[in-house]
Chains A and B, each alone.
Chain A
Amino acid sequence: MLKHRVIPCLLLRQGGLVKTKRFRDPVYVGDPINAIRIFNEKEVDELMVLDIEASREGGEPDFELIGQCAGECMMPLCYGGGVRSLEQARQLFALGVEKVCIQSAALSDMKILREIADVFGSQSVLFSLDVRSGLFGRRFAYHAAKRMDDSRQWHELLQAAVSHGAGEIMLNAVDRDGMMKGMDVALIREAAGQLSVPLIAGGGVGSLADIRQAVEAGASAVSAGAFFVFYGPHRAVLITYPRYQELEALLQGVQR
């Protein structure tokens, strides 16, 4: 049976790993290669590495570092941050990255997804959307690189991305990021219900029970950052990942 994936999401900033709270206040948590080695030993399902400044600064992906990460990974690697051309995607795949995660470039023009999907297949291109909650339960698509809302409806953006070839959706709840207080289950349920492609839900994981809730709400995969790099109430840096048997027991019996 196909397993639900549980994906550590590592944030890259100037060559080091950081973790944010609500997309702000990045705290240094360590060296990416070292973290990947630990995640190898723990046999994690998949790894996501997002460069949180590459798009903001208008720069390129750090190909050298990404190549080192990909070579070290014994699990699938998804990279995001500053990818805005087919040529960059080609370089990343040649380095051994399995999937590219695209946000800024696709919010500007969805056709980048189609270009990559046509050459490398839909499964290799992921559209990531950050959603922010406003007053009265309203939700806004948030353009992280510009630090402002996108005027379009979040679910319309997801549909557009899928129809343009995105093979997977990463949906992140901005207000939950790094808080470890639980996920936006209603958002996950609503998104999963209307998607024909796998959904990775992120933002807010603070316990294994949160992961199960997201999966029950329809997520194919759950990503978490703080939960896998912080330990205890003082957020001491410690890389952890549940044992396979633990995840098996946790996610047993959830309908796909």
Chain B
Amino acid sequence: MHIGIPSIACGNFASVVNTVARAGGQATLLARPEQVRECSKIIIPGVGAFDHGMRSLHDEGWSQPLHEFATQLKRPVLGICLGMQLMCRSSEEGVLPGLGWIDAQVRRFKFPEGSSLKIPHMGWNTIVVCRDNPLIARTDGEQRFYFVHSYHAVCSQQEDVIATTRYGSDVTAAFQRDNVMGAQFHPEKSHRFGLGLIRKFVELPC
């Protein structure tokens, strides 16, 4: 049993695979959708546009096995960046519906006229952990992560939000409901902070 990474067309796989290895786990790039159910956990990475991501999930046959994995087998799934957004119901970035595992909508950053805040939100930002959760420890020290995104998930169920970050307003940095988890930042590119998150995911019982 191992961690599978669907090789959808918009992923950045190498760094995720390497980070899982550094965290003591083993991740394999999945060539075919049938392999999903053989995995104990799944990571959905991704950079890119929402519709492009959804289309490659549908066209290449990933949506059905992933849906079964997340909602019936109920094994741990972690979405990273676009991968997290794909888990939501819909996105202002596209017209296609999302996977809908988390009751959330993905919205574009909007700032008042004259704001000096730039889009995308890009760089290192600190997070605030909202509740105990399986992914991010509540520590006293500052935890910082690398973000690159123009859209962010707005959860309908506030209790799904496990961490927020401040950019104009408080935005969802990570969410989790049961076995479904998402990080808007890039743990694979966030030094020991991200490595810590991946390690917790690797060590999750399943």
* Residues of A near any B CB (own CB < 8 A): 1-5, 40, 43, 45-46, 67, 70-77, 90, 93-98, 118-124, 167-168, 195-198, 220-221, 255-256
Report whether over half of chain B's contact residues are helix, strand or loop; otherwise say mixed.
mixed
Give, as a whole number of angstroms, the nearest-CB distance from A219 to chain B.
Answer: 11
- List 23 interface pairs A-B (beta carbons < 8 Å), by A numbering: A1-B126, A2-B125, A3-B124, A43-B191, A45-B123, A71-B18, A73-B15, A74-B189, A74-B194, A93-B11, A95-B14, A96-B15, A96-B18, A98-B12, A98-B148, A119-B10, A120-B47, A120-B49, A121-B49, A121-B120, A123-B122, A198-B123, A220-B123
Cβ-defined contact, A97 with B120, below 8 A: no
Question: With a CB–CB cut-off of 8 A, which chain A residues contact B12?
Answer: 93-94, 96-98
Count contacts on B: residues with CB < 8 A to the other chain: 43
Question: Does any Cβ of A come within 8 Å of B61's Cβ?
Answer: no
Question: Does B177 have its Cβ within 8 Å of any Cβ on chain A?
Answer: no
Q: Are the C-beta atoms of B125 and A3 separated by less than 8 Å?
A: yes
Q: Which residues of A contact B148 (CB under 8 A)?
A: 76, 98, 123-124
Q: Besides the contacts A74-B189, A197-B119, what 6 more A-B pairs have beta carbons closer than 8 Å? A: A1-B126, A5-B124, A74-B194, A74-B195, A124-B148, A198-B120
Contacts of B16 in A (CB 8 A): 96
Q: Are A198 and B118 in contact (CB under 8 A)?
A: yes
Contact B49 A123 (CB under 8 A): no
A128 to chain B, nearest CB (A): 16
Q: Are B120 and A123 in contact (CB under 8 A)?
A: yes
Cα distance, A256 to B121, chains bound together (Å):
12
- B144 CB within 8 Å of chain A: yes
Number of A-B contacts (CB under 8 A): 120
List, in ascending order, chain B residues with CB within 8 A of A67's CB: 14
Which of B18, B125, B166, B194 counts the most A-chain CB atoms under 10 A from its CB?
A: B18
Task: Report yes or no: B123 in contact with A4, Cβ–Cβ below 8 A.
Answer: yes
Give the contacting residue for A120; candidates B10, B13, B123, B144; CB below 8 A.
B10
Residues of B within 8 A of A121 (CB): 47-49, 82, 120, 150
Q: Is the CB of A70 within 8 A of B123?
A: no
Q: Which 8 A-B pairs have the closest CB atoms?
A: A96-B14, A96-B15, A123-B120, A3-B124, A123-B148, A120-B48, A76-B189, A2-B125
How many Å lie between the Cα of A45 and that of B122 in the bound state? 11
Q: B166 — which chain A residues lie within 8 A by C-beta?
A: 1-2
The verdict on A71 contacting B15 (CB below 8 Å), with A98-B148, A121-B48, A220-B123 known, is: yes
B191 touches A71 (CB 8 A): no
A255 touching B116 by the CB < 8 A rule? yes
With A122-B150, A220-B118 as known contacts, state yes or no: A2 contacts B123, CB within 8 Å: yes
Is B19's CB within 8 Å of the partner chain A? Answer: yes
Nearest-neighbour CB distance to chain A for B86, whole angstroms, equals: 13
Closest to B50 in A: A121
- Kindly state the separation between the CA atoms of A95 and B29 in the bound complex, as whole angstroms: 12
Please, how many angstroms separate the alpha-carbon atoms of A4 and B47 in the complex? 22
CB of B120 within 8 A of CB of A221, answer no
B149 at the interface (CB under 8 A from A): yes
Say whether B186 contacts A76, CB under 8 Å: yes
CB distance from A125 to the nearest CB of B (A): 11
1/0 per residue, CB under 8 A from A, across B107-128: the answer is 0000000001111111111100
Q: List chain B residues, Cβ under 8 A from A195.
A: 118
Proximity string of chain B (1-22) to chain A, C-beta cutoff 8 Å, 1 when within and 0 when not: 0000000011111111011001
Q: Assess whether A73 is in contact with B189, with CB atoms less than 8 Å apart.
A: yes
Chain B residue with minimal CB distance to A72? B18
Bound-state CA distance A168–B146 (Å) is 16
